[in-house]
Amino acid sequence: MGNKESEKPVIVAQVVGKWIGGGVESVVMNYYRHIDRSRIQFDFICDADSTCIPYKEIEKLGGRVIICPPYQKLRSYLKFLIRLFKEQKYRIVHSHINTLSVFPLFAAKLAGVKVRISHSHNTSCRRDLKRNILKHLLRLFSKVWATDLFACSEKAGRFQFGNRAYEDGRVKIIHNAIDLKKYKFDNDAREKLRAGLSIPSDALVFGHIGRFVGQKNHLFLIERFSEIIAEYPSAILVLVGEGPLKNRIKLRAAELRISQSIRFVDWCEKVEKYYSVFDAFVLPSLYEGLPLVGIEAQANGLPCLFSESISPEVVVLPTSKIDKLGAGFGAEFKIMKRIDDTALYFAHRCLDISKEAKNLETAYNRGLARV
């Protein structure tokens, strides 16, 4: 009986919050696809107001989706999680909801879970005052109920857990690694998708993939793009994603009289194909931890321009850089070319998921061995 128990995979409760097709969910799924699922399996704990949960893929890979009350209903949320963690007897709870992780980890502590991981995927923005006040208050408790501290980058680790914890080596970096083959340049997809979007084959195309929320700074992007069109009238901007601010961005594009030069693309299952449509990738976010889309775009070989708010760890290729995103960024990309072979650059940066998944397995096993 004991041997049979030891042969069963360890079930890790992955608290992902609201599954809305964002980068954090993509990171967790990347690791799930490549981890040794005969030894480690995932239960995905998702808020009831999630919209894009890939139920079929998760079930096919042997996992489960468990729906809980949204965290805004805090009393119901905690009550549900405490009962769930006790009933399922999880040995590991891994929370991905940044500073809000204090709540599921508190529930895990009360339920007797031995390994409780707080994972920082983001930082903060000075402009978003109300959200920042809450973040700064909650991060004071980030280490209280956690046994292990993970972060996607140094900047994200220092933000959530503090400089001392980072410098003492208490924060483990779990890289936002990807499947490099999935994001390789695809000329057939480029031609087909450009034709579908009525984009000339010789047009200079700037691209962005991300939710239409304040953090991603779309308003700034299209205003800068309106200045680029003055110099490059045939330039096209492709914006892929969904979100509450999408209609507002469309209205602003109409006000700037540049709607004919922008293509709005709804979120789709094979969104990675759109990287091959672009000639350059722009990410003007107000804050990020280590943006997965930035890593994916470079795996495609694209030259990228990132805002100064993004961690410098995002830069992988020599054709990518962090800048102020001034009006002249179009001229820079005009002379930049896609890099065909990116594997060597990614190998040096620990961003290949086939290798990094093993590091996550090791981290889980060390946590279990410690308790």
125 and 173 together in one domain: yes
User: In this prediction, what percent of the chain has a pLDDT beyond 70?
Assistant: 92
pLDDT in tens, 161-205: 999 999 999 999 999 999 999 999 999 999 999 999 999 988 999
Q: Name the residue with higher pLDDT: 131 or 266.
A: 266
Same domain, 184 and 127: no
Same domain, 333 and 208: yes
Top-confidence range, 5-14, 135-144, 248-257: 248-257
pLDDT, one tens digit per residue, over 296-309 is 999 999 999 999 88
Same domain? For 364 and 335 the reply is no
Decide if pLDDT at 253 tops 60: yes
User: Over 80: is that where the pLDDT of 126 sits?
Assistant: no
Model pLDDT for residues 93-105, shown as the tens digit of each residue: 999 999 999 999 9
Is the pLDDT at 5 greater than 80? The verdict is no
**For residue 206, what are the β-bridge partners?**
237, 280
**3-state secondary structure string across the chain:** CHHHHHHCCEEEEEEEECCCCCHHHHHHHHHHHHCCCCCEEEEEEEECCCCCCCHHHHHHCCCEEEEECCCCCHHHHHHHHHHHHHHHCCCEEEECCHHHHHHHHHHHHHCCCCEEEEEECCCCCCCCHHHHHHHHHHHHHCCCCCCEEEECCHHHHHHHHCHHHHHCCCEEECCCCECHHHHCCCHHHHHHHHHHCCCCCCCCEEEEECCCCHHHCHHHHHHHHHHHHHHCCCCEEEEECCCCCHHHHHHHHHHCCCHHHEEEECCCCCHHHHHHCCCEEEECCCCCCCCHHHHHHHHCCCCEEECCCCCHHHCCCCCCEECCCCCCHHHHHHHCCCCCCCHHHHHHCCCEHHHHHHHHHHHHHHHHHHC
pLDDT at 125 over 70: no
> In this structure, are 44 and 126 located in the same domain?
yes
Residues 27 and 46 in one domain: yes
For residues 7 and 142, give the distance between their C-alpha atoms in angstroms, rounded to a whole number.
Answer: 34
pLDDT at 232 (0 to 100): 86
* CB contact at 8 A, 303 and 333: yes
CATH number, domain containing residue 285: 3.40.50.2000
Domain region containing 185: 180-348
User: Do 326 and 265 sit in the same domain of this protein?
Assistant: yes
Domain count, the chain: 2
pLDDT surpassing 80 at residue 326: no
- Per residue in 270-297, pLDDT (tens digit) is 899 999 999 999 999 988 888 999 999 9
Same domain, 129 and 275: no
> Is there a single domain that holds both residue 17 and residue 53?
yes
